[in-house]
Amino acid sequence: MTMKSLRWYDYILINIHWFSMTTRSNFLTPLVIPLLVQQFVGEETKGTYLGIIRLWALMAALLTQAITGILSDRTTWRMGRRRPFILIGSVIGIIVFTSIGFSSELNGMTGYWVLFTLYIFSMLGGDMSIAATQGLIPDLIPESKKGVASGIKAIFELPLPLAFIALVIAKMIAAGNLWGALLTVILVHIITTSITMFIREKPLRAPLPPFEWITLLRPIAMTGVFTIIILSIGRLVKGIIQITKGLPSDYVMLIIGIAGVISIAVISVLGVWAGIRISLGKEILQNKSYTWWVVNRLTFLVAITNLGSFMLFFFQEKFSDFTVESAAEPASKLIMYVGTFTLITSIISGWLADRFRKKNLIALGGLLVALGSVIVIFAPIMQVAYTGGAIVGAGIGLFYSANWALGTKIVPKDKAGQYLGLSNLAGAGAGAIGAYIGGSIADNTSYTLIMSIYGLMSLLSIFALIGIKEPER
C-alpha cells in the first residue's frame, strides 16, 4: 500500500538498509573471501576454488531471494510484510560474521570448507533481507516518485558503502585487522536494521487468494535448472581449456577468450529464460519485457560484480610488488573512486530517470563501464587505473537508478516482491556465472583475460534492451 504522504526522511528509512547490504557484499566478495581462499588453497588453484565457493553461495542466495519474495508478499504480521524478514536476515548475518572471524584461524581444506559453509549462510541471511528490502519502494512509493526513490536507493546501495569500505574497512584488512573489520560491519548491520524498523509499514489487510505450494516448488526447480546450466557449460569451457594445452599462448588466449564470452552470454540468456519460465509459468509470456530486463541486468552485473571479485588477484598479477594483503589497499582505492563517481551520477540519475527514456540511460551506463574497464585493465600505473575506476563508477550510477526504476514499472504491483525477488537471477546469477567460468579461465591463462571478458559483457548487455518495451512516462 502506497504512503499517502511522504516526508523527506521516508526516502532514507526505506533505502538505508541497502548501505549495510552492499557493505556486507563488498566486504566479503572482493576482500575477505578471496584472501581466505588464497590462504586455504594456495596460489595455483585460488581462482578455481573462489569460483566454486561463489557458485554455490550465490545459488543459495538466488533461492533465498525468490522464496522470501513470495512469502513476504503474503505476510500479514503486525510489523508489516517486509520488516520481519529484514530483521531475521540481519541477525543471521551478525552470527555469520562472528563465525568467520574464528574460521580465519584454520588451515588447508578444512578452513576452506568451513568458510564455504559460512559463506552459504551469509547469503541466506543477506538475501532474505535484500528480498524484503526490494519490496519497499513498490509497496510504499507512488509512481511519480519512484525515480527519485530509486536514485536514493542507488546512493545507499553503491557509492556510500563503497567509499566506507575504501576509507575504513579495507584499510583494516590491509593492516591485518580482520576482527576490527568484522566488528565494524556488525555495527553497521545493527544501526541500519534498527533505523529500518521505523518505516511506516502497515500490516497487509487485503484478502489473499489461496496459497499454492507449487509457488514455492518453482523457485527450487528454477535454482536447480540454472545451476545445471552453469555447471554443464562450465564443464564444456574446462574441456576447451584442456584441449588448448600445448598450443602457442596467443592461440590459447584467443580460443579461451572467445569460449568465455560465448559461454557467459549463452548462460545469461538461457539461464534467465529457463529460470523465469519455471518460476512464473505461462504468466511470463504476457510480460516478455521483464525477462529481457533481467537479462540486461544480469549481463551488466556479470561485469561489475566480477571485476570486483577478482580485482585483488588481478592486481597481484599485474603489479608484482603487491603482496597478498598489500593488494587490498589499491583495490580499496579503486573501489573508492568507483563509489565516488557512482555517487555523483546517482544524485542526478534518479531525476533523469523520471524525465528521459530509461533505456537510453541504461545503455550509456553500459558503454561507460566498458570504457572504464579497458582503462583499468591496460593501465601502466595505478593512477591511470583510478581514472578508469571513476568512469566505471559513472556508468554504474547511471545504470542502477535507471534500470531499477524501469524494473519497478515493468513488474506487476500486486506481485512486486515475487518478481523483484526473481530478479536476483541477475544479482546472484551474475556472480555465479562470472566466478565459476572465470576462475578456471584465470588459473589457466591470466586474470587480464578474464577481466577483459567481464568488461565486454557490460557492452553486450546493451543488446538486451532491444527486447524491453519501456512504459510511457
Q: How confident is the model over 238-254, as a mean pLDDT?
A: 88
Would you say residue 452 lies in a domain?
A: yes
Distance CA 432, CA 90 (A): 23
- Count how many domains the chain has: 1
Distance CA 449, CA 437 (A): 12
- Tens-place pLDDT, residues 344-369: 887 777 777 777 788 888 999 999 99
Tell me whether residue 460 is in a domain.
Answer: yes
Question: What pLDDT sits at residue 424?
Answer: 66
The pLDDT of residue 417: 62
Is 3 a domain residue? no
173 confidence band (pLDDT: 50, 70, 90): confident
> Which of 177-181, 205-209, 376-380 is predicted least confidently?
205-209
**pLDDT tens, 133-151?**
888 887 778 777 777 887 7
pLDDT recorded at residue 137: 82
CA distance linking residue 58 with residue 227, whole number of Å: 10
Residue 1: pLDDT above 60? Answer: no
Decide if 104 is inside a domain: yes
Q: Which of 154-158, 182-186, 452-456 has the highest mean pLDDT?
A: 182-186
Work out the mean pLDDT of the chain and round it to a whole number.
Answer: 84
Euclidean distance between CA atoms 466 and 102, whole angstroms:
49
Confidence of residue 370 (pLDDT cuts 50, 70, 90): very high
Burial 33-46, CB ≥16 within 10 A → b, else e: bbbbbbbbbeeebb
Cα distance between residue 136 and residue 420, in whole Å: 11
Sign, Cα dihedral of 119, 120, 125, 126: positive
Show the CA angle centred on residue 55, arms to residues 49 and 59, nearest 5°: 155
Best CA proximity match to 398, nearest among 333, 342, 328: 342
Interatomic CA distance for residues 116 and 122, integer angstroms: 10
The residue range of the domain holding 113 is: 8-467
277-295: average pLDDT: 78
Which of 139-143, 244-248, 458-462 has the lowest average pLDDT?
A: 139-143
What are the E-state strand segments in 43-111?
A: none
Q: Give the pLDDT confidence of 390-441 residue by residue, as tens digits.
A: 999 999 888 887 887 888 787 776 676 667 766 767 777 788 888 889 888 9
Q: How far apart are CA 151 and CA 158, in angstroms?
A: 11
473 within some domain: no
Q: Model confidence over 67-110: pLDDT tens digits?
A: 887 888 777 777 888 889 999 999 999 999 999 999 999 989 99
472 assigned to some structural domain: no
What pLDDT score does 101 carry? Answer: 93
Residue 179 is predicted with a pLDDT of 95
More confident residue, 250 or 113: 113
More confident residue, 245 or 89: 89
Q: Quick one: pLDDT at residue 416?
A: 67
Would the pLDDT of 191 be above 90? Answer: yes
Instruction: Choose from 159-163, 206-210, 368-372 the range with maximum mean pLDDT.
Output: 368-372
Lowest-confidence region among 193-202, 272-281, 322-331: 322-331
pLDDT digits (tens, 9 = 90+) for 29-67: 888 999 899 999 988 889 999 999 999 998 898 888 878
In a domain, 2, yes or no: no
pLDDT at 97: 95
CATH number of the domain bearing residue 83: 1.20.1250.20
By percentage, how much of the chain surpasses pLDDT 70? 91
Please indicate, yes or no, if residue 455 is contained in any of the structural domains. yes
Tell me the pLDDT band of 275, cut-offs 50, 70 and 90: confident
Note the pLDDT of residue 371.
95
